[in-house]
């Protein structure tokens, strides 16, 4: 019978930057308890693997059913780097100073007042910009397929940050312990 388990454990702090970790390390394991395990297989998702948690679970289960192995997904440090189909694993888009500067530049290009531009007003500014651009397209002052490029920044949850895989690698070792 296929067994699925989820664990949350303490993992490592970032000793290099002297930052205490506040989040728990989650990992999921699948195995068939009627088979003799011959190996442990870590399925390591790349950047944005958190986008579809069902896919991770399905893939882990498939490998555990097909082969005589235990399969593990580690939701490693800074795993939640993209929007996800499961809110708990989703990052949020926010507007950094750089994002706001770009927005201001675009708004000024269309003579849209931006003295009230802030994180809590960006959406309404974008909506107004869209209205202006639609009107200009209808008047043939802008090509129909013209788009402005704006940005928002994904901020990982739980105060995590990208450290180029060092803590993620340690998280995999800690899940193996």
49 band by pLDDT with thresholds 50, 70 and 90: confident
> DSSP string of 51-71?
G-HHHHHHHHHHHHHHSSEEE
Question: What letters, b where the CB count within 10 A reaches 16 and e where it falls short, cover 78-100?
Answer: bbbbbebeeeebbbeeebeeebb
User: Given this model, what pLDDT does residue 74 score?
Assistant: 96
Q: pLDDT: is 79 or 98 the higher one? A: 98
pLDDT at 177: 86
Reported as a pLDDT band with limits 50, 70 and 90, residue 99 is very high
109 CB contacts (<8 Å, ≥6 apart)? none
Report the pLDDT value the prediction gives residue 164, as an integer from 0 to 100.
Answer: 78
- Looking at residue 170, what is its pLDDT? 93
pLDDT at residue number 174: 94
Predicted confidence band of residue 66 (pLDDT cuts 50, 70, 90): very high
Q: How confident is the model at residue 144 (pLDDT cuts 50, 70, 90)?
A: very high
Give the residue-averaged pLDDT of 95-103: 94
Angstrom CA distances, 80 to 7, 42, 73, 130, 151, stand at: 17, 18, 13, 30, 19
Listed in sequence order, the residues at least 6 apart from 99 whose beta carbon sits closer than 8 Å to its beta carbon are 122, 150, 151, 152, 153
- What residue spans define the domains of the chain? 2-91+156-176, 94-155
Residue 147, both tokens = 């788009």
- Classify burial at 70, counting beta carbons within 10 Å of its beta carbon; exposed 0-12, middle 13-18, buried 19 or more: buried
Mean pLDDT, range 26-47, rounded to an integer: 94
Alpha-carbon gap, residue 162 to 156, rounded angstroms: 8
């Amino acid at each position: 019978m296929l067994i699925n388990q989820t664990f949350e454990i303490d993992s490592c702090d970032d000793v290099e930057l002297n930052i205490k970790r506040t989040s728990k390390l989650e990992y999921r394991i699948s195995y068939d308890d009627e088979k003799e395990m011959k190996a442990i297989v870590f399925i390591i998702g790349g950047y944005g693997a958190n986008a579809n948690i069902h896919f991770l679970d399905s893939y882990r289960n498939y490998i555990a059913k097909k082969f005589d192995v235990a399969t593990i997904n580690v939701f490693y440090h800074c795993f939640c780097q993209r929007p996800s189909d499961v809110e708990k694993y989703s990052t949020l888009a926010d507007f950094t100073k750089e994002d706001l500067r770009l927005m201001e530049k675009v708004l000024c290009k269309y003579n849209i007042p931006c003295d009230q531009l802030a994180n809590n007003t960006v959406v309404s500014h974008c909506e107004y910009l869209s209205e202006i651009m639609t009107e200009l397209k209808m008047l043939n002052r802008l090509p129909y397929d013209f788009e402005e490029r704006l940005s928002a920044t994904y901020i990982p949850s739980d105060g995590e940050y990208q450290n180029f895989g060092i803590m993620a690698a340690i998280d995999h070792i800690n899940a193996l312990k």
